[in-house]
C-alpha cells in the first residue's frame, strides 16, 4: 500500500533497524520505544488489523513474536516481555503489528499507559538491533 509507513519499511524505501526477517514477517525497532529494544513485527503483506489476518499467516507472525519475546531476555538482560496488538483503537499505523517490549521488574510500566522513550542516536538504535539480530540468529 503506497501510503502505509510499514509497507514502505518492508519495501526498503523507509529506513528501519531490522531485527527479524522471514518470507512472511519483518521485525524492526519501534522508533518511539516504550523501552529500548521495543520491536514491531509486521506481516509483509498489507493487512490492516488482526481480524483480517489470514490463518496461513497466524503461525508465522505469532511464531516470530514468540521468538523475539524469548530473544529480548538474552539480548537485553530483560526478565520478560510485554507482547501486545492494538486493533484499530490506539493503532497508530493501520498495518497489523505486534509489539514485543522488553520488561524488567520495577521498570515503571503500569497498565495500558505506554510512556515512550528515545534512542540517544542512530548508533544506539543500531546497537540494540544488532544485539537482538545476533541473539535470534543463535
Model confidence pLDDT, tens digit, residues 68-107 = 999 999 999 999 999 999 888 877 889 999 999 999 998 8
Write out pLDDT tens, residues 98-132. Answer: 999 999 998 888 766 667 788 999 999 999 999 99
103, containing H or E segment: strand 98-103
Q: What are the sequence ranges of the domains in the chain?
A: 5-137
pLDDT at position 26, please?
Answer: 98
Rounded distance between C-alpha atoms, residue 42 and residue 127, angstroms: 21
Q: Which residue has the higher pLDDT, 14 or 93?
A: 14
The answer to whether the CB of 30 falls within 8 A of the CB of 40 is: yes
Q: Is 92 left (phi over 0), alpha (psi -120 to 50) or beta?
A: alpha
Q: Domain 5-137: what homologous superfamily?
A: HIT-like (3.30.428.10)
Catalytic residue among 17, 38, 95, 97: 97
Q: Is 99 labeled as catalytic in the residue annotation?
A: no
Amino acid at each position: 500500500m503506497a501510503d502505509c509507513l510499514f509497507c514502505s519499511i518492508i519495501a526498503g524505501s523507509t529506513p528501519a533497524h531490522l531485527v527479524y526477517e522471514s518470507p512472511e514477517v519483518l521485525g524492526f525497532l519501534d522508533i518511539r520505544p516504550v523501552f529500548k529494544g521495543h520491536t514491531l513485527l509486521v506481516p509483509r503483506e498489507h493487512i490492516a488489523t488482526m481480524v483480517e489476518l489470514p490463518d496461513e499467516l497466524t503461525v508465522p507472525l505469532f511464531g516470530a513474536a514468540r521468538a523475539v519475546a524469548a530473544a529480548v531476555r538474552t539480548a537485553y538482560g530483560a526478565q520478560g516481555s510485554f507482547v501486545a496488538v492494538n486493533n484499530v483503537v490506539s493503532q497508530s499505523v493501520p498495518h497489523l503489528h505486534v509489539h514485543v517490549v522488553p520488561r524488567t521488574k520495577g521498570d515503571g510500566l503500569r497498565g495500558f499507559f505506554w510512556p515512550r522513550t528515545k534512542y540517544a542516536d542512530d548508533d544506539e538504535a543500531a546497537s540494540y538491533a544488532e544485539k537482538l539480530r545476533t541473539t535470534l540468529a543463535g
